[in-house]
Amino acid sequence: MWQAMGRTYYRFTHRFVEPRYASPIRFFFQVVTMSSIFFYLMNYPKNLRHHKQAKYHW
């Protein structure tokens, strides 16, 4: 199991984090996107879930 996780980590870093001809801004955009997704999922239960239960009268 640990070997599979290690292979996955190194495969991800060699393809997306440390490619040979990538611009440095690419990693910055990946970090921003992942942190946005992480914080959205972290705050979903306490802030955003109650909106789907609202009844709108148009």
- The confidence band for 54, taking pLDDT boundaries of 50, 70 and 90, is low
Asked if 48 and 39 count as a contact pair (C-beta separation under 8 A), the reply is no
pLDDT of residue 16: 74
Instruction: List, for residues 4-40, the tens digit of each pLDDT value.
Output: 999 999 898 888 777 777 777 877 888 899 999 999 8
pLDDT of residue 36: 96
Closest CA to 15 of 3, 5, 26, 25: 26
